[in-house]
Amino acid sequence: MTLETTTARPAPTADWVTLADLHTDPFPIYRRMRDEAPVHWVPDVGRYMVTSYESCHLIENDQETFSANETGSLMKRAMGHSMLRKDDPEHDVDRKSYGSVLRPKAIKETWNAIFERNSEAFLARLQAAGPGADLISEYAAPYAAENLRLIMGFHNASQEDMQRWSQTMINGTGNYADDPDVWAASKKSYDEVDDAIDEVLPYLLRNPDGSLLSGLASMPIPLEAIRANMKMTIGGGLNEPRDVIGVAVWALLGNPAQLEQVKADQARFAVAFEEAVRWVAPIGMYPRETTRDTVLEGIRLPQGARLGVVIGAANRDPKVFADPDRFDINREKKPHLAFGGGNHFCAGTWVARASVAGVALPRLFNTLPNLRLDPSRQAVDAGWVFRGMTALPVTWDQ
């Protein structure tokens, strides 16, 4: 037994944490937990929650000790056994099957033009809805969904299908309350996605294009792996850009001086994007499982411990980010963890940056004069496993 093991202490129990409070506003909870210890056992969640930047960063880069292939994974149940719940070398095989579809060259040559076209179409929809419309339902969500539909190659589905599939399966992935209605809706989408994939793959073999499914159609990849990875992509590939658009707009409209800076130098929309995902990480928590007895920042963890790597807390760690609860595009640049790290660094990062910072945000603010929050209706942010704006009523000058 090493000195480190003998001097380590057990994780404190945070029996005061409830799922309801986490859903409403997790950040005060994270602050208290992080101040007390980097790791807590949380009975209501049924896992150890890791809240410090140092610990989350360490976990991301040590798959031998902290496995993504969690036992009893909610994500496996909701979406199948995707690459996100695999370690290398299995993870690397799945990841490489995506080829270059999501990389900067393809974005520049193919997808940026599609992002521009979709932004124009859904901005027109937002304008038609008129001042007081919900930015999320009229612009951010359908824009993210239609972009993803085309990138993935679902020629037999609509953006509305993509939204329904994404939200219900994400709800399953975060169903820590084990709500049977959530599981039923998630299972329905699970089956619909499988059917859509089975239908479209033969079409794409005959009519190849630059989409993800087109590339996978001709590869020796097991069908179950394709299905699981496509479900995972529908989840993260839609909710991340949708939620970053909502949070960034909400933050900029709440900080007029910073908004003027960005409008005066539109290259700074990229800075606003990075600050938005730091401030409110769209994927706020993901699981890991220990493969052996270990010690994490002085906290003893047994083999088989189920962890929650709380990126939403790590990105507000005051040891790394000054005044971390404040949205500030002028803060000192430091790496956040919103897109994960190590071998699981988010494959859709370049798409999210291009579609949101490069197109959605500048087009929105350049098109709608004096865009502002609607004072007559409440903006609502919610969630902790996944967090974003569930309502963002806006108005503008006509």
Task: Identify whether the C-beta of residue 356 lies closer than 8 Å to the C-beta of residue 207.
Answer: no
Q: Give the pLDDT confidence of 102-111 residue by residue, as tens digits.
A: 999 999 999 9
Task: Identify whether the C-beta of residue 324 lies closer than 8 Å to the C-beta of residue 349.
Answer: no
Torsions phi, psi of 211, nearest 5?
A: -85, 165
The residues near 130 (Cβ < 8 Å, ≥ 6 apart) are none
How far apart are the C-alpha atoms of 241 and 350, rounded to whole Å?
Answer: 11
Residue 5 pLDDT class (50, 70, 90 cuts): low
The residues near 312 (Cβ < 8 Å, ≥ 6 apart) are 26, 27, 30, 280, 281, 284, 285, 384, 387
State the virtual CA torsion across 308, 313, 315, 317 in degrees, nearest 10: -120
The residues near 158 (Cβ < 8 Å, ≥ 6 apart) are 149
What pLDDT is recorded for position 43? 97
Residues facing 380 on adjacent strands: 391
344 pLDDT more than 90: no
Residue 2 pLDDT class (50, 70, 90 cuts): very low
Task: Identify whether the C-beta of residue 47 lies closer than 8 Å to the C-beta of residue 385.
Answer: no
What pLDDT is recorded for position 143? 98
In the chain, what is the greatest distance between 2 CA atoms, to the nearest angstrom? Answer: 71
Q: Give the pLDDT confidence of 254-274 residue by residue, as tens digits.
A: 999 999 999 999 999 999 999
What pLDDT is recorded for position 268? 97
Torsions phi, psi of 395, nearest 5?
A: -140, 170
Task: Identify whether the C-beta of residue 138 lies closer than 8 Å to the C-beta of residue 374.
Answer: no
Query: Which domains, from first to last, does the chain contain?
Result: 3-395 (1.10.630.10)
Task: Identify whether the C-beta of residue 347 lies closer than 8 Å to the C-beta of residue 98.
Answer: yes
What pLDDT is recorded for position 51? 98
Lookup: tokens for 21? 């409070």
What pLDDT is recorded for position 343? 80
What pLDDT is recorded for position 7? 78
What SS3 class is residue 42? strand
How far apart are the C-alpha atoms of 237 and 162, rounded to whole Å?
Answer: 10
Mean predicted confidence (pLDDT) in 347-357: 93
